[in-house]
Amino acid sequence: MTSNNGRDYIVIKALEDGVQVIGLTRGTDTRFHHSEKLDQGEIMVAQFTEHTSAVKVRGKALIQSSYGEIRNDE
Ligand code: TRP
């Protein structure tokens, strides 16, 4: 695998239309800073960065990371 600059990637695949991927800020203040809408079958590949400490996924999706795979439609 090529370098990912020390940052973990996660993959989010939408299992329905209108799935929201929301980035939350790193630091003392935890707030939404970005929201991305995915339609069914669309995939987002994202990293945790200096600006993004957490990701909230709203809607049915398949999420893959180095910790494994999780679906939130069960
Ligand atoms: N500019 C943001 C950042 O560097 C972009 C980003 C990275 C992002 N990972 C994300 C946005 C996850 C939403 C979800 O942090």
Question: What domains are there in the chain, each with its CATH number?
Answer: 9-71 (2.60.40.50)
- pTM of this structure: 0.90
pLDDT in the model for residue 2: 58
Ligand 1 test: best mutation among 7, 34, 37, most atoms within 8 Å of CB? 34
Answer whether 47's CB lies under 8 Å from 23's CB. no
Q: Which amino acid is at 36?
A: E
Q: Is 21 close to ligand 1, i.e. is its CB under 6 Å away?
A: yes
- The beta-carbon contacts of 26-35 under 8 Å, at least 24 apart in sequence, are 26/50, 26/51, 26/52, 26/53, 27/53, 30/54, 32/56
pLDDT in the model for residue 53: 94
Give the number of the atom of ligand 1 that is nearest the alpha carbon of residue 46. 9
Give the number of the atom of ligand 1 that is nearest the alpha carbon of residue 50. 15
Q: How far is CA 25 from the centre of its chain?
A: 13
pLDDT digits over 15-71, tens only?
999 999 999 999 999 999 999 999 999 999 999 999 999 999 999 999 999 999 999
